[in-house]
Chains A and B, each alone.
Chain A
Amino acid sequence: MIEFHSVTKRFPDGTLAVEDFSLVLPSRKTTVFVGSSGCGKTTLLRMINRMIDPSSGSIEIDGVDIASGSAVALRRSIGYVMQNSGLLPHRRVIDNIATVPLLKGVKKADAHTQAMELLDTVGLDRALAYRYPSQLSGGQQQRVGVARGLAVNPNILLMDEPFGAVDPIVRDDLQQELLRLQHDLDKTVVFVTHDIDEAFLLGDQVVILEKGAQIAQVGTPKEILANPASDFVASFIGADRGKRRLAVDSTVARSGDDVVLVDGAGYVAGVIEAPGGVLPGSGVGVGTNSRARSVSNKTDQAGDA
C-alpha cells in the first residue's frame, strides 16, 4: 500500500507541480494517474521512488516513510519502466535485464538464468537476449524495459507512459500483455498515461488529475463512467461529446442475438449481446429507442481487470 499524505512539490523555479496531494494506492491493484500534459503525473510517480523529493508532506509504503531509508535501496526495491525504455545502450538485452540483480550481488549465472526466464514472462524470444537495445524494435525495447523492472521481483512497479511511443497495434498488444502479467504476478502497479482509454483498460483505480495534481475524481472505471464528478471529468472521459454514451441502433436490421451500438455522433461503437432481443440485466426489449450506458468496445474489459 502506498500512501500520499498532503504531498506538495514546488520546483526550484517556482512551478507548483503537485499541491497538497493525498491518496491511498491499494496493494496488488493497478492505480492509473491520468490527466493532460503537465498536470503533475510524472512528478507524483517519481516521488514514490525518490527521484524527486516532496517539498512537504510524506509518502509511506506499507506504513513506512520512504524518506527514512536510503534512496538507492528504495529504488532497487521498486520496478521502474519509462516511455523510451531507458535501456543501457552499451549492454546486451540480457545484461540490461540483469542490471539490478548484478548490482545487488546476485551471481552472474543466476542473474542471467533469471533474465532469460523474464524474457519468456514478457513474451520475447530468448534469441533476442544477446542483442543490443538499438537492434530491437520500439515495442520489443519496451518489453525489455518491463522485464528489467520485474528483475528484482519488486512489490511495486512504476510505469510512466510505457506504451506512449509505440504504434497503436503494438500498444494494444503490450496492454493486453500487462493485463495478463498483472493477473499472474499481482504487483502494486502505478501507471501514468494521458490516454483515458488506456487508463480505463488497465486501472483498478483510476485517478483523474487536473493541473497541480488536483484530484478531479478517483474511482473504478465503472464508477467514473457512471457518475462523472464534474464537467471536467465528463469532458475528459469524452462523456459530454456522446463518445461514451451509446445507444442501440434501430436502423440496422438485426440478425442473431447481437445488436449494433452507436455513439452520440451516430458512429458505430460496437455490438452488444441481446439474447432473444433482450438486453441482459435490463429486461428491456431491444428495437425500441432504449439507451444503453456502456463503455466503448475497447474499454469494456476494464470492469473485470
Chain B
Amino acid sequence: MNLFLDALNFLFDPANLTGANGIVPRLVDHVWYTGLSMAVAIVIGIPLGLLVGHTGRGRNAVVALSSAARALPTLGLIFLIILYTGLGVGPLIVVLVILAVPPLLAGAYSGLEAVNRPTIDAARAIGMTEWQILLKVEIPLAMPLIFGGIRSATLQVIATATIAGYVGLTGLGRFLIEGLALRDYKLALAGAILVIALALCVDAILALAQRLVVPHGVARGLTRHPDESAAPTPRQHGRVSTAPSNP
C-alpha cells in the first residue's frame, strides 16, 4: 500500500512532470509511437482486410500470416531488427506495426464476412457498383467489428510500446526500466500506472468515436424511433391493418 502511495506521490509531484525525463515528454513520446504505428498499421491492415472480406479470396493466407505474426516474440524481434538497422524509431515502429496488423485484418475481414449475404445481394441487384456496395453497405455494417479490431490493436500497441525503453528510446517504458534497474519500485509502479491510465483513456476516446462512426440501426439492440411508442398508425387506404405491430 505504501508503495502505491509513493507511486501516486511521484505521479502528482509537479517536479516530475516536465524536464527531459519527466512524465509529460515521455507520455508524448509514447503516444507518438502508438499513433505512428497505428497509422501505418491501419493503412496496411484495413484495406487488406476489406479486400479479403469483400472478395472472399486469400482468407486462408491471411489467417496463417496473422497467427504467425502473433506468435512472434516482440522483444526478440526488435533486437533482431536493431542488429541489422541500428537503433532508432524505425525498428520500434516496424515491430509495433507487425503486432497491430493482425487484429486490424481480422476485424476488417470478419466484419465484412459477418454482413448478411442477402443484404449485399440486394444492394447489387438494385444497381450498386462493387465500390458502392463496399463503401455504402459492407463497411458501414461491418463498422462494429472493424472498430473492435482498431481498439484491440491500439491497446496492444500501447502496452507493447513500453519496449521502446529497452532500445534507447523513451516513452513510458523508461519508468519501468529505470525503476527495475535502480530497484526503485515506486518508479516502476508509477510507470505501470501511467501505461494503464493511457490505455484506458485512449480506449474511452475510441469508444466514443465508435458511437459516432457506427451508423444508427447497425448497433444491435438499437433504440426505437421516437414515434415507435405512438399508437399504431392506420394505413393510407383505409384498410384495417392486419400486419402484426411491433412489440
- A: residues with CB less than 8 A from B are 46, 49, 51, 72-77, 80, 82, 84-92, 99-100, 103, 119-120, 123-125, 127-128, 130-140, 148-149, 166-167, 169-170, 173
Contacts and interface: CB of A to CB of B under 8 A. Distances in A.
A132 B228 CA distance: 11
B246 to A, nearest CB: 6
A83 to B, nearest CB: 9
B60 interface: no
A73 B116 CA distance: 24
Contacts of B222: 132, 134
Interface in B42-65: none
Contacts of A173: 239, 242-243
Given A72-B127, A135-B224, A125 B235 contact: yes
Interface in B121-137: 121-129, 132, 137
B239 A123 contact: yes
Contacts, number: 110
A133 B217 CA distance: 8
A87 B141 CA distance: 13
A125 B234 contact: yes
A90 B218 contact: yes
Contacts of B243: 137-140, 166, 170, 173
Interface string B188-214: 000000000000000000000000000
B171 interface: no
Nearest to A91: B217
B225 interface: yes
B236 A124 contact: yes
Given A89-B217, A103-B128, 9 more contacts: A51-B121, A72-B127, A123-B236, A124-B235, A127-B233, A133-B217, A135-B228, A135-B246, A139-B242
B126 A51 contact: no
A92 B217 contact: yes
